[in-house]
Amino acid sequence: MDNIFIDKVDTYIVDLPVIRPHQLAMTTITTQAIVIAIIKDKSGRTGVSEVATIGGASYGDSTVEAIKANVDKYITPHLIDQTPIQFNKIMTTVAKHVRGNLFAKSLVETALIDLAAKQREIPAYKLFGGKIHDSLPLAWTLASGDTGQDIEEAKEMLHAKRHNIFKLKIGHGDPDANVRHVGEIIKAVGDESRVTVDINQAWDEYTALKQIRALEEMGVSMIEQPLPTWNYEGMKRLTERFGVSILADEAATSLHDTYRIIKERAGDAVALKPAKHGGILETKKIAGIAEAAGFGLYGGTMIESTVGNAIAASVYSTISEFKFGTEIFGPLLYKDKLTLEDIKVENFEIQIPDDIGFGNTLDYEKLEHYKRR
């Protein structure tokens, strides 16, 4: 049984190109930076995981460089010679010695779970509750910044039965023009789809009051993080004032952040993302308290590649309901992938992998090609 113990932990920074510029409030993505972790046991089996960040330090305080450095120096010593199936105990120990660093903790925890599942030759979701859903509704973000291009893209997705939920990133630039942009897209495809918007914290409360009124009248179904993360009181006022759902994303990071949002009603829905929460165990806790409070759930993405996307799909498959669907479309935005497998989308829904672990086989040649030197 000695061969089940952890022998080695390797991390890599990878830069993957995307198929088109992806515009957010704080940056435009042309290449996405991710961190890959490979945890190996003494028999040579590997657990593989990924976390992605958006726009370096412009989105949040976890950068790929910091994630790698902190895993290598501060977390790895707590993993060597441990048994992966004790991932809950291991991560409790890590939490006692390493403050914050939620992305780094997620990277490690998910690799442990992947390895534990592979040692038992079972799908990873069997280790954290079991699958409820075989597939989940899949949104697509229209973020080219061009109205005509976004409309054509939406029509193509509808025709291919790939997506019928569209999210528009409207935090960058003139708010009036951005809201008109939303209106044009709803006119073009609103009868066949549901439209949500993401502000990425870019508005102040005065702007939000004006623009959300217009968006609500257009029929937008959800407004994501209109105000900065610190403005709990402003989010509460918006939630009380409007009928359209106000979703907390960047503000709903840790379990404690989310508890405060729920307690103060600083929104009425939360976006789940395993990386920002610190892993699958914390994601499940957050989903539980949100469900108990009657908050809607949204299966968010950090625009992961196929590795991290499969992790998100697996954990989301074990959660009972997603009021606003999921947006784990990340691999569809990349020009290439790091695994032999790709994601499968049928009839507007992403299919949940049933293979061993998280259902991925790492392509080591691609890893070597794209890894940062």
CATH number at 80 reads 3.30.390.10
Residues 204 and 180 in one domain: yes
Both 96 and 19 in a single domain?
yes
Does residue 271 form part of some domain? Answer: yes
Q: Which two tokens stand for residue 371?
A: 């890894």
Residues 56 and 92 in one domain: yes
Decide if pLDDT at 19 tops 90: no
Q: What is the dihedral of CA 238, 239, 243, 244, to 10 degrees?
A: 80
For range 31-60, the mean pLDDT? 89
292 within a domain of the structure (yes/no): yes
The verdict on 156 and 113 lying in the same domain is: no
Residue 202 in any domain: the answer is yes
Residues 6+ apart with CB under 8 A from 1: none
pLDDT band at 23 (very low <50, low <70, confident <90, very high): low
Residue 357 maps to a domain: no
pLDDT of 85: 97
Do 195 and 306 belong together in one domain? yes
The answer for residues whose C-beta is within 8 angstroms of residue 122's C-beta and 6 or more apart is 356
User: Are 274 and 139 found together in one domain?
Assistant: yes
User: Is the domain of 155 the same as that of 271?
Assistant: yes
Q: Are residues 114 and 134 in the same domain?
A: no
- pLDDT of 25 strictly over 80: no
Question: pLDDT class for 143, splitting at 50, 70, 90?
Answer: confident
> Residue 356: inside a domain, yes or no?
no
Check: CB of residue 301 under 8 Å from CB of residue 313: no
Domain of 53?
2-121+362-370
The better pLDDT of the pair 54, 232 is held by 232
Tell me what the mean pLDDT of segment 28-43 comes to: 90
Side chain identity, residue 36: I
Residue 311: is its pLDDT beyond 80?
yes
Q: How confident is the model over 80-94, as pLDDT tens digits?
A: 999 999 999 999 999
31 and 179 co-located in one domain: no
Q: What is the pLDDT of residue 57?
A: 67
What's the mean pLDDT in 150-160? Answer: 94
Average of per-residue pLDDT across 315-327: 95
Q: Answer whether 0.75 is exceeded by the pTM.
A: yes
Catalytic residue, chosen from 169, 273, 276, 337, is 169
**Per-residue pLDDT tens for 255-304?**
999 999 999 999 999 999 999 999 999 999 999 999 999 999 999 999 99
Average pLDDT, the chain: 94
pLDDT above 90: residue 55: no
**Residue 373's pLDDT band (cuts 50, 70, 90):** confident
Residue 331 belongs to domain with CATH number: 3.20.20.120
The pLDDT of residue 1 is 62
Q: Which pLDDT band, with edges at 50, 70 and 90, does 31 fall under?
A: confident
Task: Tell me whether residue 341 is in a domain.
Answer: yes
169 is catalytic: yes
My answer on whether 87 and 157 are in the same domain is: no
Compute CA 28 distance to the chain's CA centroid, rounded to the nearest angstrom: 17
Q: Are residues 325 and 218 in the same domain?
A: yes
State mean pLDDT over 8-20: 92
Distance (Å, whole) CA 165 – CA 163: 6
Tally of domains in the chain: 2
Structure tokens at 31: 């290449």
- Over its C-alpha atoms, the chain yields an Rg (Å, rounded) of 20
Residue 12 lies in a domain: yes
pLDDT at 21 over 80: no
SS3 sequence of the chain: CHHHCEEEEEEEEEEEEEEEEEECCCCEEEEEEEEEEEEEECCCCEEEEEEEECCCCCCCCCCHHHHHHHHHHHHHHHCCCCCHHHHHHHHHHHHHHCCCCHHHHHHHHHHHHHHHHHHHCCEHHHHCCCCCCCEEEECEEECCCCHHHHHHHHHHHHHCCCCCEEEEECCCCCHHHHHHHHHHHHHHHCCCCEEEEECCCCCCHHHHHHHHHHHHHHCCCEEECCCCCCCHHHHHHHHHHCCCEEEECCCCCCHHHHHHHHHHCCCCEEEECHHHHCCHHHHHHHHHHHHHCCCEEEECCCCCCHHHHHHHHHHHCCCCCCCCCECCCHHHHECCCCECCCCCEECCEEECCCCCECCCCECHHHHHHHECC
In this predicted structure, the answer to whether residue 364 has a pLDDT above a threshold of 70 is yes
What is the pLDDT confidence band of residue 22, given thresholds at 50, 70 and 90?
low
Greatest mean pLDDT among 29-38, 52-61, 256-265 lies in 256-265
Structure tokens, 55: 């726009």
Indicate whether 144 and 85 sit together in one domain: no
The rounded percent of the chain whose pLDDT value lies above 90 is 90
Instruction: With cut-offs at 50, 70 and 90, classify the pLDDT of residue 61.
Output: confident
pLDDT band at 133; cut points 50, 70, 90: very high
Task: Please report, as a single letter, which amino acid is at residue 363.
Answer: D
